[in-house]
A and B are shown apart, each in its own frame.
Chain A
Amino acid sequence: MTVIRSALASLFLAGLLVLPALRPADAQIPADVLVVGQIAEPASMDPAVSTATNDFRILVNLYEGLVRYKPGTLEVEPALAESWTISEDGRVYEFKLRQAVTFHDGTPFDAEAVKFNFERMLDENHPAAGTGPFPLAFFFSAIEKVEVVDPQTVRFTLTEAFAPFLSNLAYPTGLIVSPSAVTEQGQDYARNPVGTGPFRFVEWVGSQQVTIERNPDYWGEPAKLQTVVFRPIADANTRAAEMLAGGIDVMVEVPPDALGQFSGGDFQVHEQAGPHLWFLILNTREGPLQDKRVRQAVNYAIDKQVIADNILQGTAVPAKGPIAPAFEWAYDDTIEGYPHDPDKAKALLAEAGAEGARLTFYVAESGSGMLDPVAIGTAIQADLAKVGLEVEIQTYEWNTYLANVNAGLGDKADMAEMAWMTNDPDTLPYLTLRTDALPENGGFNSGYYSNPELDRILDEARRESEQDKRGELYRQAQRIIVEDAPWAFIAHWQQNAVTTGTVQGFALQPSFFLLLDDVSKQ
């Protein structure tokens, strides 16, 4: 049987010899090409269609809106609009547009283009309405009409004063697409984007990569990189391995467990707090949590610092209230919140006669912005057990979970995990804590919290177009919400990213967008 033996041996040898010989010429990434490891393939490159942060990371480099967030903040500054005026009653916004800006397809950016963009989303009979659906069009549902005053001036009339309008314009849903490209491509536009941004689209290879390159005709400071490649790498371990092996230059959303691998050495870890809140919805209509003291006890009983430090390994900071500190102008930094205090929790429970109460707790298995929901849920369960509350966890797959929670907790559950990432301090409380937002009214107030004073403040803040006055109203709202404790405030996520040592000028934004025009490689 020497034949077989020698056949095997030669096969093995051949393998050893041939493999390195076959190895393709060292595929080094050139110095002006940046490769970004993303968490998934984008769903669409049409900003009016996209809803995911994963898509936005690409879109904000291809497109611009009338306004944008000032780098490093959540404050609005001019972009495609040079300036604007707001009428006394807060209903009419008139924008002066930047001159001599062209889309990547060569067509001019003007007031007609702006009108086209918003009417496409809002008017069902618009010729390009078939390029939808436009899931976040309701961001602009306050728009009554868009008028072209002259080619460089566009006027928006709102049905009522709506102060978040500007920050909604800065959100990716407000990015401006080329009308002629949309008209020509129809539904295929979603994979052939044309904007005005510092980068233009090159190709999208299904589930492998999206490539963009420097826009040589950009009106502003040209991008430093020649090319950026976005690679979807769904598995977090594989993404980390690619980073360690030099296959990518930037990795976003590093899982807490993998962060340690990148500390020191040739890598740089970036962290940035954003407008994110992780909280528990407490059922204020049914069960033991109807009593405010029991809700406050739940808040005191949970050790938020331990969750942020140990479970999330420093990728989050404890939350003190309903509004993220990233909204600097609206955040009340005098609020103490509910520091971990089991004794106070026990005293409150005793006062309310709720010792040993049983609570049903909805926990998601995963989900957008939910971080590590099962581990956090279990930690909360253990903390509540220490003050004598018996918590039963029920877990659900994310889509099922949303359907259950959004319908209202009813008599089925006492607490539910939830996380939101928003672009304006108005969004979260307005959609989830007002009386008008109860599930029976079609809102997200799944815990049935109702406080007429808060309703009034939130309505007023929406109509107030002066930022300082608005900020003061949100600070009032925070104090009320923290005192009433319709939620247990747990954590604010800090998004993170890792870059290789060669990447220069990289910074994460509080908006969670990934702006790459200032980035270069050495």
Chain B
Amino acid sequence: MPAYVLGRLLALLPVLFGLSLIVFLIMALIPGDPAQAILGSYATPENVARINRDLGLDRSLPVQYLTWLGNVVTGDLGRSYSLNRPVLDEVLERFSATLILAGAALVLASVLGLLAGIVSAVYQYGLADKLVTFAVLIGISLPSFWLGLLLILLFAVRWRLLPVSGMYAIYGGGGLVDLLWHLILPATTLAVVAAGVIARLTRSAMLEVLRQDFVRTARAKGVSERGVVFRHALKAAMVTVIPVIGIQAGFVLGGAVYIETVFQWPGIGRMLVDAIGTRDILLVQGGVLVVAASYVLFNLLADVVQRLLDPRIAA
């Protein structure tokens, strides 16, 4: 297992290298440049040239890329001109906010999805199954930014139960309770689609397992129904479900872009969108590197858990 994990981690390096090259080229190829974004209406060729020189953007593309790469190796991701601070500081701050949001959403989606999937599998074709299937269909189909706005209107504006936006209260805020309080709406919104996908998959995995011989044997032995479902069937079904949760982690990270905008969550998704708009190439590069690395790590984690659950895969 350690060798496997190490191998996968080493494979991460070429992925990140390739990715940074592609992102760099895309940013270089799209029209408009940082100087244009800074100067707006005042972007005369003369002013643009001066800003480009100040930002080091008048050098050739390969030189710019290699300089960046050289700095990255030493842990220096450069300085964001659009936020006037080191890229690393900004990226870490924003990424931790996204991790909190995406992590909460993923936990919520897994719990809800698994429960809903188990219920609808156990009561296949019953009323509970139909209700869950319907709810899942709705959940998967709702555009999340719209759902987010609707939840804000109901829970924050109409009923004033929850805060509209932000991560902490600006006054008398801070602390875990305040954070959880601000997390409820965005995490729920973000969890809805993933919960639906996980519920669907859990349902079909459970149905398949529940029909198998070892389940009938367990029942014949007199194992309680609760034991059959949770100890025997669910454990077997999880082997199929876990990797999907890993993949959902990626979708949740991606979906966070919309949710972070609607709820003004200070996460990395919104940071990347803003950075692309202002052509802040160093910030885009740094952000993409961190997001990509974490995505690969999530999937690795899911694979490792799957191997632990099912020794056949490792063999």
- Chain A interface residues toward B at CB < 8 A: 1, 3-4, 7-8, 11, 19-20, 22-25, 27-30, 33, 35, 40-41, 43-44, 46, 49, 51, 132-133, 135-136, 138, 187-188, 190-191, 206-209, 229, 231-235, 237-238, 241-242, 244-247, 368-369, 397-400, 402-404, 406, 418-421, 431, 442-444
- Partner among B46, B94, B119, B261 whose Cβ is within 8 Å of the Cβ of A235: B261
B261 lies within 8 A of A133 (CB): no
CA gap between A404 and B36 in the complex, in Å: 11
Contact A238 B264, beta carbon cutoff 8 Å: yes
Q: Mark B154-167, 1 if CB is under 8 A from A, else 0.
A: 00110011011111
Report the minimum CB–CB distance from A28 to chain B (whole Å): 7
**Secondary structure type dominating chain B contacts:** helix
Q: Which residues of B contact A235 (CB under 8 A)?
A: 261-262, 264
Instruction: Let me know if B264 and A234 touch, CB within 8 A.
Output: yes
23 CB < 8 A contacts A-B: A3-B226, A11-B115, A24-B172, A24-B177, A35-B171, A51-B38, A133-B54, A206-B83, A206-B85, A206-B93, A208-B170, A237-B149, A238-B165, A241-B152, A241-B153, A245-B156, A247-B166, A368-B40, A369-B41, A399-B32, A404-B31, A406-B43, A442-B45
Contact A35 B170 (CB under 8 A): yes
B181 nearest CB neighbor, chain A only:
A24
Other-chain residue from B46, B84, B225 in contact with A187 (beta carbon distance below 8 A): B84
Are A238 and B262 interface neighbours, CB within 8 A?
A: yes
A246 to B226 Cα, complex, angstroms: 48
Residues of B in contact (CB 8 Å), total 71
Known: A4-B118, A133-B50, A138-B47. A399 touches B181 (CB 8 A): no
Residue of A nearest to B271 (CB): A207
Please determine whether B173 and A27 come into contact, CB atoms closer than 8 angstroms: yes
The answer to whether A28 touches B171, judged by C-beta atoms less than 8 angstroms apart, is: yes
Other-chain residue from A22, A25, A209, A245 in contact with B180 (beta carbon distance below 8 A): A22
Partner of B171 from A1, A33, A43, A51 at Cβ < 8 Å = A33
Determine if B123 and A231 form an interchain contact, defined as CB atoms under 8 angstroms apart.
Answer: no
B82 touches A (CB below 8 Å)? yes
Contact of A242 with B164 at beta-carbon distance under 8 Å, contacts A206-B90, A208-B266 already known: yes
| Residues of chain A contacted by B310 (CB below 8 angstroms) | none
List B contacts of A190 (CB < 8 A): 84-85
* Structural contact, A402 and B165, CB atoms closer than 8 A: no
Complex Cα distance, B47 from A229, in Å, reads: 34
Chain A residues, CB < 8 A from B46: 138, 442
A420 to chain B: closest residue by CB: B41
Q: Which of B254-283 contact A (CB under 8 A)?
A: 261-264, 266, 270-271, 274, 277, 279
B164–A241 contact, CB under 8 A? yes
A398 and B171 alpha carbons, distance in the complex (Å): 36
A368 touching B41, Cβ below 8 Å: yes
Contacts of B119 in A (CB 8 A): 4, 8
CA of A4 to CA of B263 in the docked complex: distance in angstroms?
33
Q: Which of B84, B118, B178, B271 contacts A24 (CB 8 A)?
A: B178
Chain B residues with CB under 8 Å of A247's CB are 163-166
Q: Within 8 Å of chain A (Cβ to Cβ): is B44?
A: yes
Contact indicator B169/A207 (Cβ below 8 Å): no
Can you name the residue of chain B whose Cβ is closest to the Cβ of A439? B45
Q: Is the CB of A27 within 8 A of B84?
A: no
| Closest Cβ neighbor of B34 among chain A residues | A399
Q: Is the CB of A46 within 8 A of B168?
A: no
Among residues of B, the one whose C-beta sits closest to the C-beta of A227 is: B171
Q: Is B39 an interface residue (CB 8 A)?
A: yes
Task: Say which residue of B42, B156, B262, B264 sits within 8 Å of A232 (CB atoms).
Answer: B264
Picked from B30, B43, B161, B225, the residue with its CB within 8 Å of the CB of A20 is B161
CA distance A420 to B42 in the complex (A): 10
Q: Which of B33, B225, B229, B264 has the most CB of A within 10 A?
A: B264
Asked if A133 and B51 sit within 8 Å, CB to CB, the answer is yes
Further contacts, 7 of them, CB under 8 A, given A138-B42, A245-B156, A419-B41:
A30-B171, A33-B171, A208-B266, A234-B261, A398-B32, A399-B279, A406-B43
- The 8 Å CB contact of B31, one of A30, A188, A399, is A399
Closest A residue, CB atoms, query B118? A4
> Which 3 pairs, one residue from A and one from B, show the smallest C-beta to C-beta distance?
A399-B32, A190-B84, A133-B54
Query: With the chains together, A399 CA to B270 CA distance in Å?
Result: 19
Contact: B264 with A44, CB < 8 Å? no
Taking CB atoms, residues of chain B closer than 8 Å to A187 are: 79, 84
Which of B40, B85, B178 has the most chain A CB atoms closer than 10 A to its own CB? Answer: B40
Chain B residues with CB under 8 A of A419? 41
Kindly report which residue of chain B lies nearest to residue A189, judged by CB atoms: B84
